Amino acid sequence: MEKKTRERRKHKRVPARILIKYGNAEQFFTDYVQNISRGGIFVPTYNPLPKGTRLRISFSLPYWDALIETQGIVVHSVRSHPTQGATPAGMGIQFQTLREEYLELIDKYVNSLMV
């Protein structure tokens, strides 16, 4: 029998491939986002940062020139290698301080990809 899981996300998310730069005082990284919502992003990586890590984040959405710069926090970190149906290795980063104009841009981007 298949288990039903309840969706806990507050915001619609969409698959995306967006170049992102993120880091803190000790480290700096460039990666690609796997998905995005107004609440945050998921970054696939085999070396995710620990839960609770605070980051500076910057990225631009396709078709918009604005550079979005904000703060984020790693809210979940998955280190296992993906198996069929499993969560891929990576980390979920929740936006902490996102200006209203950036929230509106993200909403427009997400809605443009929903069909």
pLDDT at 44: 93
Does residue 32 lie within any of the structural domains? yes
CA–CA dist 42, 89 (Å, integer): 10
Does residue 52 lie within any of the structural domains? yes
CATH of the domain at 24: 2.40.10.220
pLDDT at 25 over 70: yes
| Closest listed residue to residue 68, CA positions, set 28, 40, 26 | 40
This prediction has a pTM of 0.83
Percent of the chain past pLDDT 90, that is, above it, reads 63
Q: Collect all residues with Cβ–Cβ distance below 8 Å to 74 and sequence separation of at least 6.
A: 48, 49, 50, 51, 52, 53, 55, 91, 92, 93
pLDDT band at 84 (very low <50, low <70, confident <90, very high): low
Does residue 89 lie within any of the structural domains? yes
How many independent structural domains does the chain possess? 1
